[in-house]
Amino acid sequence: MEKHTFIVPRISCRHCVASIKDEISGIKGVRDVAGDPGKKEITVEWEAPATLERIRMMLKEMNYPAE
């Protein structure tokens, strides 16, 4: 299992976190997604076939690019 916390500056509220959680949870291999609107953080736990690059790409596609 891998885990990473992404800093996503465009997060402005809990609705942003909810839509990010919905999309990232849909990636095969993702086991958990947690978000903190105050800190603008998204923490993801995953295993194969998900990858860090895939998650980062999905955030970018959603217009919530990670730093």
Whose Cβ is closer to Cu ion: residue 3's or residue 39's? 39
How does strand 2-7 pair with strand 30-36? Answer: unpaired
Minimum distance from residue 39 beta carbon to Cu ion (Å): 14
> Is residue 48 within the footprint of Cu ion (CB under 5 A)?
no
How does strand 41-46 pair with strand 2-7? Answer: antiparallel
Greatest Cα-to-Cα distance within the chain, rounded to the nearest angstrom: 30
The one among 6, 8, 16, 33 contacting Cu ion by CB under 5 A: 16
Chain residues in the site for Cu ion (CB under 5 A): 12-13, 15-16
